[in-house]
Amino acid sequence: MVLRRPERAKPPVEPVTLKILVAGGFGVGKTTLVGAVSEIRPLRTEELLTEAGRPVDDLSGIEGKHTTTVAMDFGRITLRADLVLYLFGTPGQERFWFMWDELSEGALGAVVLADTRRLEDCFAAVDYFERRAIPFVIAVNCFEGADRYPAETVRQALDLDPDVPLLLTDARDRESVKEVLIGVVRHAMEQAAEHRRTVTG
């Protein structure tokens, strides 16, 4: 009988790392979303809302919120052994838009978080990603007490292209947020495949 050499240990897979942006209006749940899924202690730069900031930051509907993200949230999630996402929560307030161009460099895609009570707060993010052809999904963060609208109504209000996925989520819930992130990756892959088809005819 011939002794077979034991199987060689498989070399560890070098994971693909992808960068995903999390955008949306003030208080929509970006910091919460990144914190819910991140395996590393999420980095966040928050500062207390100062009295001076109050006239600028519209707090109606989110009275419980006392901190605001001034720079960004950063987190990491391993979706599969070979697929790691780095999450960058981008401040949705107008005065931080100067950061978006740098943050979106090399991003695979984006999640635009939306709150149906303040849908207009995500218009800027939708415009931004559409203009730069960065694949994005809309994730409606379902706050208690907010009216539930049919997806079609939200789509129309945002004037979304039919191929942009619209998902319902709870930014506090890890599994729900993971579904959204998988949705972004899938959508970005589909867009890339679509692009290749049109380029190669």
Ligand X SMILES: Nc1nc2c(ncn2[C@@H]2O[C@H](COP(=O)(O)OP(=O)(O)O)[C@@H](O)[C@H]2O)c(=O)[nH]1
Helix (H, G, I), strand (E, B) or coil at 181: helix
State CA 20 to chain mean position distance: 6
Tell me the closest approach of the beta carbon of residue 16 to Mg ion, in angstroms: 27
Residue 195's binding partner out of ligand X, Mg ion, none, with CB under 5 to 8 Å set by partner kind: none
144 binds ligand X (CB under 6 A): yes
In the complex, least distance from residue 64 CB atom to Mg ion, rounded to whole angstroms: 13
Q: Binding ligand X by CB under 6 A: which of 69, 90, 104, 191?
A: 69
**Measured from the CB of residue 24, what is the shortest distance to Mg ion in angstroms?**
9
CB atoms within 10 A of CB 127: 11
> Looking only at Cα atoms, what is the longest distance across the chain?
84
User: In terms of CB distance, is 86 or 143 closer to ligand X?
Assistant: 143
Q: Which residues 158-177 are close enough to bind ligand X by CB under 6 A?
A: 170-172
Cα torsion angle, 49, 52, 57, 61, sign: positive
Residue 29 contact among Mg ion, ligand X, none, beta carbon within 5 to 8 Å by kind = ligand X
Write down the number of H helices and E strands in the chain. 5, 7
Taking CB under 6 A as the criterion, the residue among 18, 20, 27, 129 binding ligand X is 27
CB closer to ligand X out of 138 and 171? 171
- By CB under 5 A, residue 31 contacts Mg ion: yes
Within 8 A by CB and 6+ apart from 169, the residues are 33, 113, 139, 140, 141, 142, 176, 177, 179, 180
**Closest residue by Cα to residue 113 from 151, 149, 75, 139:** 139
> Which one, 83 or 97, has the nearer CB to ligand X?
97
Closer CB to ligand X, 29 or 75, in the complex:
29
Which 3 state secondary structure label does DSSP give 186?
helix
Note the residues at the interface with ligand X (CB under 6 A).
Answer: 24, 26-32, 62, 64-65, 69, 141, 143-144, 170-172
